[in-house]
């Protein structure tokens, strides 16, 4: 693998107008697009549109008090769907808290994400079955988890055997803000010195809550790993085909024993960091408008229309999105609250008198409201 110093700064295959072209210097990535069919392209579009409809509905549900918090990913669909479908059947994914698009590419029930944000459970899916690990709410922690898991894959000898049923790679997702955390630097170091099969996928959406990326780094983030010995590359994060191809290539390299790499997907967080902040207070509307004009879903629609895909398909996708939103809304409003005793379960292996005392107090407190209402 050549280092990022020898590469053209950014991999792009789709222009904002939907024109597809693979420059000669990106031929190693273009080969991965050659293996895709029109059905694959349609699947990419369906899931990008589906996750945006889900995302917008969840924001509305949070505003109506159905969730304590929602973390929108509008504008980042190409980076997530493209990279998600590039992950192999044996590979493991370690997300942060915004990877709803990656989740659906690997069969995660969308209601599980809502339940977690509502506080009904702590995740709701089994990482051993899905290979998609639980959301990491604490910034940057998942990157260290991924580094440790990838080291374990190496120790087990499941790298570079040439057997696709055995070889594994790991990918971890994080944002530009997390790169300022020591966890990311530590993970880069451990992955490099252990030659771990790990792909670091940084979604640079330009803002860490209200801090612009310019306040976090003076060099492009794809160069961040080179000081540790981790080569990097920047990809147009609003180009689903480029995100797919670059991720597929580097996951293959990791499985084949070539060690870790860093992908910086340059994209944009169109909405708020979470539903608890107002981005109009800290960034100009002109900047947001610039990126909306480069919307990843609109770009891919233009590409598909150039392939002869007509209105019927896009109308079908829009209708499916409305149906999904209705299903999500009905299921959320019908969702029961978990039993109070769940708070106290699994705190200690054996029953503990202090926990029992706290549970008794809370149950008595809650029951007092029922008595007052009589």
Residues designated as active site: 269, 273, 282
CB 99 within 8 A of CB 292: no
> How far is the C-alpha of 244 from the C-alpha of 46, rounded, in Å?
15
Q: Report CA torsion sign: 104, 310, 20, 37.
A: positive
Taking the mean position of all CA atoms in its chain, how far away is CA 213? 19
Strand locations in 132-197 (E): 170-175
The token duo for 213 is 């990326």
Could you give the strand order of the β-sheet that contains 261-266, starting from the edge strand earlier in sequence?
10-11, 232-236, 261-266, 198-204, 170-175, 92-94
Q: ∠ CA(63), CA(65), CA(67), 5° rounding?
A: 90
Dihedrals φ, ψ of 352, to 5°? -125, 130
Look at residues 218, 217, 228, 221 and name the one whose alpha carbon lies nearest to residue 204: 221
Question: Which residues 6+ apart lie within 8 Å of 254 measured at CB?
Answer: 159, 169, 170, 197, 198, 199, 260, 261
> How far is the C-alpha of 233 from the C-alpha of 95, rounded, in Å?
20
DSSP secondary structure letter of residue 296: H
> How far is the C-alpha of 241 from the C-alpha of 263, rounded, in Å?
14
CB 248 within 8 A of CB 32: yes
Q: ∠ CA(315), CA(318), CA(320), 5° rounding?
A: 110
> How far is the C-alpha of 23 from the C-alpha of 10, rounded, in Å?
11
């Amino acid at each position: 693998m050549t280092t990022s110093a020898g590469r053209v700064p950014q991999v792009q295959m789709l222009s904002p107008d939907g024109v597809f072209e693979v420059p000669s210097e990106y031929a190693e990535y273009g080969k991965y697009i050659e293996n895709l069919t029109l059905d694959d392209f349609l699947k990419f579009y369906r899931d990008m549109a589906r996750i945006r409809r889900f995302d917008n509905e969840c924001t509305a549900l949070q505003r109506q008090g159905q969730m304590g918090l929602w973390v929108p990913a509008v504008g980042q669909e190409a980076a997530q769907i493209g990279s998600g479908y590039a992950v192999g059947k044996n590979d493991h994914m370690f997300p942060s808290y915004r990877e709803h698009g990656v989740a659906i590419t690997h069969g995660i029930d969308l209601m599980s994400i809502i339940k977690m944000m509502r506080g009904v459970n702590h995740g709701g899916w089994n990482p051993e079955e899905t290979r998609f690990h639980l959301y990491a709410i604490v910034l940057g922690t998942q990157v260290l988890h991924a580094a440790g898991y990838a080291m374990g894959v190496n120790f087990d000898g499941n790298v570079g055997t040439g057997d696709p049923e055995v070889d594994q790679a790991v990918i971890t997702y994080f944002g530009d803000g997390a790169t300022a955390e020591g966890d990311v630097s530590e993970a880069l170091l451990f992955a490099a010195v252990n030659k771990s099969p790990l792909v670091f996928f940084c979604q640079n959406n330009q803002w860490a809550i209200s801090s612009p990326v310019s306040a976090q780094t003076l060099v492009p983030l794809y160069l961040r790993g080179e000081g540790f010995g981790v080569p990097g590359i920047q990809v147009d994060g609003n180009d689903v085909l480029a995100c797919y191809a670059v991720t597929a290539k580097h996951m293959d390299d990791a499985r084949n024993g070539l060690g870790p790499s860093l992908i910086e997907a340059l994209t944009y967080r169109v909405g708020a960091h979470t539903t608890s902040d107002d981005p109009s207070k800290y960034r100009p509307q002109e900047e947001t408008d610039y990126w909306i004009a480069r919307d990843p879903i609109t770009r891919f629609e233009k590409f598909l229309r150039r392939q002869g895909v007509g209105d019927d398909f896009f109308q079908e996708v829009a209708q499916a999105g409305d149906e999904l939103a209705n299903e999500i809304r009905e299921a959320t409003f019908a969702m029961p609250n978990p039993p109070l005793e769940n708070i106290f379960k699994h705190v200690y292996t054996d029953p503990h008198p202090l926990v029992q005392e706290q549970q008794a107090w809370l149950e008595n407190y809650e029951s007092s409201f029922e008595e007052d209402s009589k």
